[in-house]
Amino acid sequence: MTVSAPMNWRRIPERYRLKGSYCETCGKAFFPGRVVCPNCRRKGKLKEQDMPRAGKIFSYTKVHVGPTGFSHETPYFIALIELENKAKVLSQIIDSEEEKIQVGAKVELAFRKVGKDDKYGAINYAYKFKVIE
């Protein structure tokens, strides 16, 4: 999908440094950030917060058939990662030995290219994760 420059620009804090939010009322962290805390709603008080840069794999899959824009990268790994503050994030796992990509494996934040909108479109960058020893 081709997206506008403002759409990419708006998402830079989230994609480049995992900016999310946490609720001062219940203490729960959210990634991406939310306008309303789903637990506390109007009693909630959301503050912006960068997410921790480490976590562990909660679930993962090796993708063999990719969508438009990702077909040339297959196979690649997609995982749900539980960050140290319990917020979860879906991301690719890169630069890791395949046998070490397991549920429970410790991972840390990396920063990589995530595709390109189209031939002349913007190159997108965002978070990915890699397994740490």
Partner 1 sequence: MIEVVVVGAGMTKFGENWESSFRQMIADAAIKALVDSGLAGEKIEAIYGGCMASGRFIGQEHIGALIADQLGLNPIPSTRCEAACASGGVALRSGYLAVKSGEHDIVAVGGVEKMTDVSTEDASFALGGAGDQETELFHGATFPSLYALLARRHMIEYGTTEEQMAMVAVKNHKNAANNPNAQFQSEVTLEEVMNSGYVAEPIKVLDCSPVTDGAAAVILCSKEKAEALGMKYIEMAASEQASDTISLAARKSLTELRATMEAARKAYKKAGITQEDVDFAEVHDCFTIAEILAIEDLGFFKKGEGGIATEKGLTALNGKIPINPSGGLKGKGHPVGATGVAQAVEAFNQLMGRAEKRQVKNAEIGLTHNVGGSGATAIVSIFKKAGVKK
- Catalog residues that contact partner 1 under the rule CB under 8 A: 1, 11, 30-32, 58-71, 73, 76, 78-80, 87-92, 103, 114-115, 124, 126
Using the minimum distance from each CB to partner 1, give the nearer residue, 87 or 131.
Answer: 87
Which of 45, 15, 20, 44 lies closest to 31 in space, CA to CA? 20
> Of 121, 93, 119, 123, nearest to 108 (Cα)?
93
CB of 115 to partner 1, least distance (A): 7
Q: How many CB atoms lie within 10 A of CB 110?
A: 16
Kindly state the smallest distance separating residue 60's Cβ from partner 1, in Å.
7
Nearer Cβ to partner 1 (76/100): 76
Give the pairing type, strands 29-30 and 88-93: unpaired
Least Cβ distance, residue 78 to partner 1 (angstroms): 5
- d(CA 93, CA 16) in angstroms, rounded, equals 16
Beta carbon nearer to partner 1, 52 or 66: 66
